[in-house]
Amino acid sequence: MLIEPSIAWVIALNIIAWLIIQFGLAWSFTQLAAERFDPHNFFARTKNWERDGHFYERAFGIKRWKDKLPDASRMFRGGFAKANLQTASPEFLERFLRETWRGEFVHWLALLTLPLFCIWNPWWGVLVNAAAALTVNFPCILALRYNRARFLRVISRHRGGAHQPATPSTP
């Protein structure tokens, strides 16, 4: 710990910092074009062990709780609601994939800010913040990865095979 504020200040700093981090990242990333978020890159693409989302169903019972998670992107102009499927068009599904990667990326970035909390927290405060950050962000990451895997499966069925990115339709 680099500075030693009182416990009340530490708690206040933690709350303010997490609000700024979570909402600041969410807002700033909703301002970027969806095309910047490639759901087929190494980090975003689904892995074999995810088994088209079935891993999340078995390991975490994700179907029971994923719909209860908040979607903060709707709070910001330009945000993309991911709560329900508006259409099954390939273009919408591809945009949905991009949005799930955008959201997942925001949650991973929030977790990567944890070292910042070492500046004003004692060691046990860092652990409390890590537990809180994981509690808030990890379920969202799981749900976004699960939804992306499911939608890749839907897109693959529509195309009759392996998933490929949607191509814009020509008029």
Residue-wise pLDDT tens digits, 5-41:
889 999 999 999 999 999 999 999 988 999 999 998 9
156 by Cβ neighbours in 10 Å (0-12 / 13-18 / 19+) ranks as: middle
Q: pTM here?
A: 0.83
Structural domain harbouring 85:
7-159
The band of 73, judged by pLDDT with boundaries at 50, 70 and 90, is low
Give domain status of residue 2, yes or no. no
Residues 6+ apart with CB under 8 A from 39: 45, 94, 97, 98, 100, 101, 148
Give domain status of residue 17, yes or no. yes
Query: What percent of the chain clears pLDDT 90, i.e. is strictly above it?
Result: 60
Give domain status of residue 170, yes or no. no
How many other C-beta atoms can be found within 10 angstroms of the C-beta atom of residue 85?
12
Give the integer Cα–Cα distance in Å for 153 and 138.
23
Compute CA distances 159 → 41, 55, 62, whole Å.
Answer: 20, 24, 27
The total number of structural domains in the chain stands at: 1
Give domain status of residue 164, yes or no. no
Give domain status of residue 26, yes or no. yes
- Judge whether 60 and 54 are in contact, CB under 8 Å: no
Question: Is residue 149 scored above 70 in pLDDT?
Answer: yes
Give domain status of residue 131, yes or no. yes
With H, G, I as helix, E, B as strand and everything else as coil, classify residue 109. helix
Give domain status of residue 167, yes or no. no
Compute CA distances 86 → 9, 67, 91, 167, whole Å.
Answer: 45, 15, 11, 19
